[in-house]
Amino acid sequence: MAISTAAPLDPPARGYGLSDTQLDRPRPVNSAVSWGAIAAGAAAGAALSLILLILGVGLGLSSVSPWALEGVSAATFGVSTIVWLTLTQLLSSAMGGYLAGRLRTRWMDTPADEIYFRDTAHGFLAWAVASLTTAALLTSVIGSILSGGIQAGASAVGGAAITASAAAGGLAASGRAASDDGGPMAYFVDALFRADGPASTAGSSEAETPVTASERALSVDVAEVSRIFMNVSRSAPLPPDDLRYVGRLVAQRTGMSQQDAEKRVTDLYARAQARLNEAEIAAKEAADAARKASAYAALWVFVSLLIGAFVASLAATCGGRQRDA
């Protein structure tokens, strides 16, 4: 049986100037991903982003002021913050992507469209690593933005309950401290027992009179009236029984007639209701404003990150072309 032998390759097929041993040796295949270039670009982008953020914080704090008619307005501060975040993403992403494309390994015998795709991927990966690194360094800041939006939404839903709880906490305590701790209704309860005329001297007599028959401390009356006020819904008037009872306490303490005392109770309770309703509306408006601010901040951060990803990919292609030129 005859065995056929393959004819030796022609010199053009085997290569000029190379020995058979060198031709038979396998060529090293370069990896499609240059992680060293990606890490270098990501480190540079994250460092520049951190520096620009710190600079932005310093400029922002220097432009605002707690004094009236000084510093920039809230709208101007918000717009400048958005512009600075976008500019930070542009500069840091461009630097990181360009370095990732310029420092990557040169790919031999690779089609042009494949090289373009790899450069784009290198820029995107450099942006992703830099964004994750920056987020890890600024976890507290990002967490505060997100948690602020969630807490603002919860406050908007339960603003009435929070206001009522704060008022109850300031008024439910017994003793004089119930009117001294600055609760929302403490001022109105104290105003009930103000005497319009000079102090009565009937207390110097040891015989009991209608004015001094109870002999209870003023702090006890204040605490009791506070509990009566807080037990009634802010949208409803005082029940007739409570009105007569509180009016009798006021009449005993101030020397007013029962009718005048009840009129004082009705007027002051209406003012207290209006004050609490205004506080509730203000709390809801503040919570809604915080919720909107958090939503706008999250949306603009999202847009700026998308812009950064695009710029990093584009810069990597530019760096790759210069690398292969």
Q: What is the pLDDT of residues 70-123, one digit of tens each?
A: 777 777 888 888 889 899 999 999 999 999 999 988 888 888 889 899 999 999
pLDDT at 260 over 50: yes
Quick check: 96 and 42 in contact, CB under 8 A? yes
Say what the pLDDT of residue 208 is. 43
Say what the pLDDT of residue 100 is. 93
Taking the CA of residue 272 as centre, how many other CA atoms within 13 Å lie in the half-sphere pointing to its CB?
Answer: 30
In the chain, % of residues over pLDDT 70: 66
pLDDT at 285 over 80: yes
Gap between the Cα atoms of 276 and 26, Å rounded: 84
pLDDT at 41 over 50: yes
Is 223 buried (19+), middle (13-18) or exposed (0-12) by CB count in 10 A? buried
Quick check: 278 and 288 in contact, CB under 8 A? no
pLDDT band at 173 (very low <50, low <70, confident <90, very high): very low
pTM: 0.59
Neighbours of 18 (CB within 10 A): 12
DSSP state string for 290-319: HHHHHHHHHHHHHHHHHHHHHHHHHHHHHH
